[in-house]
Amino acid sequence: MCFLEKYVIKGGKPLKGEVTISGAKNAAVAIIPASLLVKGVCRIENMPHISDTDMLLTILKELGAKVRFIDNSTIDIDCTNVEFGNAPFDLMRKIRASYYLIGAMLGRFGKAKTTMPGGCNFGCRPIDQHIKGMEALGAEINVKNGFVYAAAPEGKLHGSFIYLDKVSVGATMNIILASVLATGRTIIENAAREPHIVDLANFLNSMGADVRGAGTDTIKVNGVESLHGGTYAIIPDQIEAGTYMVAAAATKGEVLIKNVIPKHLECISEKLRETGTIVQNFEDSVLVRASGNLRKVNIKTLPYPGFPTDMQPQMATLLCQAEGTSVITEGIYDNRFKYAAELNKMGANVNVEGKMAIIEGGHSLTGAPVMACDLRAGAAMVIAGLCANGETEIEDIHYIERGYEDFVEKLRRLGADICIAEYPDDTDKKDNVIAV
Ligand code: EPU
């Protein structure tokens, strides 16, 4: 019989101590495909060791890249001799970020064949803006039977003006990837401004690209002939840091969160301060401390620098402990409140009405068996388990492992009572992994 893993948490202990944040997942999952554009060795530091990056590295290796771990968070990727070919489509289907292979392969080979990225679990997540961008650069795109076929008629893309109808992280980064080796200048208007977009641009520029304006809503890419190897360190993960910040506040603890860029956390810090949590910024760390009653707040998720949708479930868990009624409005996805039912199993009072979650605070949580519905929902259940009276068991933790390096170990070092236990696998859930 096969076994799956679950988290078992005995709640009620405030988190205390220090935690070091890993490299940003959503930067890493673009930078790994970006190394396809480079002829030479890319030494990448601060690479998070999570299942999403592992899957992308496996895909690159299958395509012929040489990948060598220097230490736990530093790798060398050498795509010099990679040839166009079939990648492992079963892996591509499992991971959302495989869409970056469309832009990277088009840039490198003038053609691409990928699967459509993995299924969506918070509403419809089309890639029409990615396709619109690639077509503007001259690619012919065909989506058929779950595959994306792309080709530049003369083997090379050409710069163009692209206005994104929707602010999209993925489309912005994918168009950057496709355009760095194109001829001429590409302008992306209404671009997303997340820190990981700046990070991708900085990575590419350090390898010889000419990407300007990342971090604003207008990005200009002047195509260059080729990219060369180099060394680059990925920025710290904004959402991993935010998750520990919220966990510290929710458990009424005191945690110094190290290896962060406090500016990237401002949207989260400000909302925490509104609840009465103390957040102190230092040069590359933040101290979070909470005691006494938390206050209700209202939140609307928005593209950066707005409050990140990827912190919404964790914040909802915190607000279950606050006094009064808080409202969270989801501004990015159609359906990212599936975790509400799981929280309610633990005694919370969260009512979802369309794109709004109405959270009546002040109900103490009690341990229960619950599921991780997706990566951040899973993190929210962990926070709930840490606050709850009694024991919480969380199944489907493979979602959580996509984005949190050493989650259990880091939490244990902060004093949490959390461990991994096995349970019999009576379903084929592992094959239904939903990409983030
Ligand atoms: N959208 C379209 N058309 C497109 C692209 C996006 O309509 O062609 C819509 C989406 O359906 C969504 C909105 O635009 O409603 C924003 O989507 P975006 O493209 O920004 O998201 P994404 O690239 O699919 C990345 C992260 C997500 C994160 C979002 C928003 C990766 C692999 N994923 O997704 O990360 O929620 O940006 O910041 O980078 C997570 O880490 O938990 C996670 C879900």
Q: Which amino acid is at 166?
A: K
Task: Kindly state if the Cβ of 154 falls inside 6 Å of ligand 1.
Answer: no
pLDDT tens digits for range 116-136: 887 446 777 889 999 999 999
Atom of ligand 1 nearest to the CA of 96: 32
Nearest CA residue ID for atom 6, ligand 1: 168
User: Cα separation of 245 and 251, whole Å?
Assistant: 10
According to the model, what pLDDT value does residue 429 have? 52
According to the model, what pLDDT value does residue 118 have? 72
Which parts of 64-168 fold into alpha helices (H)? 89-94, 100-109, 128-136
Torsion of CA 279, 49, 199, 215, to 10 degrees: -50
Task: Kindly state if the Cβ of 33 falls inside 6 Å of ligand 1.
Answer: no
According to the model, what pLDDT value does residue 425 have? 85
Ligand 1 geometric centre to CA of 295 (Å): 30
Pocket perturbation via mutation, ligand 1, pick of 52, 169, 177, 200 by most ligand atoms within 8 A of CB: 169
Task: Kindly state if the Cβ of 332 falls inside 6 Å of ligand 1.
Answer: yes
Is residue 435 pLDDT above 60, yes or no? no
Q: Which helix (H) or strand (E) holds 30?
A: helix 25-34
DSSP string for residues in 281-299: E-SSEEEEE--SPPBP--E
Nearest CA residue ID for atom 17, ligand 1: 168
Pocket perturbation via mutation, ligand 1, pick of 166, 267, 373, 434 by most ligand atoms within 8 A of CB: 166
Q: Mean pLDDT score of the chain, rounded to an integer?
A: 95
pLDDT band for position 86 (50/70/90)?
confident
Q: Which amino acid is at 390?
A: G
Is residue 232 pLDDT above 70, yes or no? yes
According to the model, what pLDDT value does residue 122 have? 72
Task: Kindly state if the Cβ of 333 falls inside 6 Å of ligand 1.
Answer: yes
Is residue 65 pLDDT above 60, yes or no? yes
Task: Kindly state if the Cβ of 96 falls inside 6 Å of ligand 1.
Answer: yes
Is residue 58 pLDDT above 70, yes or no? yes
User: Cα separation of 200 and 127, whole Å?
Assistant: 19
According to the model, what pLDDT value does residue 70 have? 97
User: What percent of the chain clears pLDDT 70, i.e. is strictly above it?
Assistant: 97
Is residue 23 pLDDT above 50, yes or no? yes
Tokens representing residue 21 in the block: 């944040």
pLDDT band for position 263 (50/70/90)?
very high
Is residue 432 pLDDT above 70, yes or no? no
According to the model, what pLDDT value does residue 154 have? 87
Ligand 1 geometric centre to CA of 380 (Å): 19
Residue with tokens 């984005």: 403
According to the model, what pLDDT value does residue 105 have? 97
Helix and strand numbers (H, E) in the chain are: 13, 23
Ligand 1 geometric centre to CA of 306 (Å): 14
Atom of ligand 1 nearest to the CA of 52: 32
Residue 199 in contact with residue 27, Cβ under 8 Å?
Answer: yes
Average pLDDT estimate for 78-98? 91
Catalytic residue among 2, 42, 79, 120: 120
pLDDT band for position 2 (50/70/90)?
confident
| pTM for this model (two decimals) | 0.96
Is 120 part of the annotated catalytic residue set? yes
Nearest CA residue ID for atom 35, ligand 1: 436
Instruction: Report DSSP state, residue 235.
Output: P
Tokens representing residue 235 in the block: 């920025």
According to the model, what pLDDT value does residue 119 have? 47
Q: Report the side by side order of strands in the sheet with 218-222.
A: 161-163, 185-189, 218-222, 210-212
pLDDT tens digits for range 304-361: 999 999 999 999 999 999 999 999 999 999 989 999 999 999 999 999 999 999 999 9
Nearest CA residue ID for atom 18, ligand 1: 168
According to the model, what pLDDT value does residue 187 have? 98
CA torsion sign for 78, 79, 80, 81 is positive
Strands (E), 93-184: 111-115, 140-144, 147-151, 161-163
Task: Kindly state if the Cβ of 322 falls inside 6 Å of ligand 1.
Answer: no
Ligand 1 geometric centre to CA of 332 (Å): 8
Atom of ligand 1 nearest to the CA of 169: 20
For the stretch 397-401, contacts whose Cβ atoms lie closer than 8 Å and that sit 24 or more positions apart, written own/partner, are 397/5, 397/6, 397/7, 397/372, 398/4, 398/5, 398/51, 398/430, 398/433, 399/372, 399/373, 399/374, 399/375, 399/433, 399/434, 399/436, 400/7, 400/372, 400/375, 401/50, 401/51
User: What percent of the chain clears pLDDT 90, i.e. is strictly above it?
Assistant: 90
According to the model, what pLDDT value does residue 436 have? 58
Average pLDDT estimate for 260-284? 98
pLDDT tens digits for range 350-395: 999 999 999 999 989 999 999 999 999 999 999 999 999 999 999 9
Average pLDDT estimate for 34-46? 98
Atom of ligand 1 nearest to the CA of 124: 11
Q: Name the β-bridge partners of 45.
A: 233
Nearest CA residue ID for atom 22, ligand 1: 170
Ligand 1 geometric centre to CA of 168 (Å): 6
Q: Are strands 391-395 and 185-189 parallel, antiparallel or unpaired?
A: unpaired
Higher pLDDT, 429 or 383: 383
